[in-house]
Amino acid sequence: MGRARSADRAFFPLDEQLGLASAGVTPRGQEALVRLATWISFEHACELLRELLGIDVSATSARRYTYQGGLAALAVQQAEQARLREDLPEPPKGAEQAVISADGAFVPLLGGEWAEVKTLVVGEVVQNEEGEADTTSISSFSRLAEAESFSQQALVELHRRGVERAEAVCAVTDGAPWLQGFIDEHCPQALRILDFAHAAEYVSAMGQAATEAGSVLGPTWLQERLHTLKHEGPRPVLSQLRALQAQHLQLPLLSEKLAYLEKRETHMQYPTYQAAGWPIGSGSVESANKLVVEARLKGAGRHWERAHVNPLLVLRNAVCNGRWSETWQASVQERQRARRQHRQERTNRRLRLACWRVLVPVLRLQRLSASSSPTRPPRYSWRQPFLRRPPASQNGSAKI
């Protein structure tokens, strides 16, 4: 008795209707596992799922389900990005006062490499009881990408929040060149504000360098300069910093810091910004860096493959923005579409193979029958002359 043939891979139609895409885990269990894995490690997510729902899943499976869901959600957003750039639909109505901020945070990759994850934060500005500006309705968008690619991908979140149609927009950043290019592309009309804490770092660095070089600055020197910068503007502070730099021309650090602040003087009009009800700090994006990126991707013993960072980030954005259900359902639909396409391609390959299996014997039989048939002598038509006359010579006589 011969050995039985191994069965090919197949699918049961009812599994598709019930959403049983993963063996051994129900759709609800898989969603709960992936959602836990976006907050805590894969091992701890499996332990918590076992204790809460009684579902036993390995950390390897948790990692695979998370990356599959993240890749599908990422594909949905990439398709939406392409649609927005091609169709140019009308964006929704934005806030009366919108604020955007962007920054980067480094995460560890395999092989000892560190890569920068860029994060965009979009919010609305409201006035609190004390009359100060507060940022509410904050949403984040994070990607491991170069500046140009990040700017293109962030279009999805900016369009969703209606930044283009907001009545007024301000951009609070640290003044990096790539951020200025980002603002130029998406909202060139935005009021540009240099983060006050970032400007304070430069003033503090200049004071510390001058003190180390021998200058005697009072204990309240930095506090006084920052108070002046916040309530009177950059002009008097820059004048004092120029005088300090003139005393230590041999220190290139002072010249470098001073040039940075002078170049961004128009972005440090803090009294005007506060009077108009705008924030002067980028604390929202700093918090997003810690909550969205570093809380999950940084830690003892955590190192990531580059290809796995963005699938996890898209899920982190969804859960931190309060849009988990929408993102997960889109991911499920994308995976179902990909499976249907894969099955259709596999069916087409099988049909082509079956056709070849039928056609090849027929072609061989035709070739064999053609080669076995007796050859017939060539037939001559009566139209062809039996003897051809020799060509005539030049003088008109024929050669005999």
Domain extent listing, the chain: 15-89+316-335, 91-193+283-304, 196-280
Q: What is the pLDDT of residues 231-258, one digit of tens each?
A: 999 999 999 999 999 999 889 999 999 9
Predicted TM-score (pTM) of the model is 0.84
Tokens for 340, please give them. 């249907």
Cα–Cα distances (Å) from 35 to 23, 49, 57, in that order, read 18, 10, 14
- Which residues does the chain have with pLDDT short of 50? 386, 396-400
Q: What is the pLDDT of residues 211-232, one digit of tens each?
A: 999 999 999 999 999 999 999 9
Please give the radius of gyration of the chain, using alpha carbons only, rounded to the nearest integer.
36
Q: What is the pLDDT of residues 298-330, one digit of tens each?
A: 988 899 999 999 999 999 999 999 999 999 999
Query: Which long-range contacts link 20-25 to residues 24+ away (Cβ below 8 Å)?
Result: 21/332, 21/335, 21/336, 21/339, 22/61, 22/65, 24/57, 25/55, 25/57, 25/61, 25/65
Q: Which fold has domain 91-193+283-304?
A: Nucleotidyltransferase; domain 5 (3.30.420)
Strand partners, 25: 22
Chain centre distance of CA 303 = 19
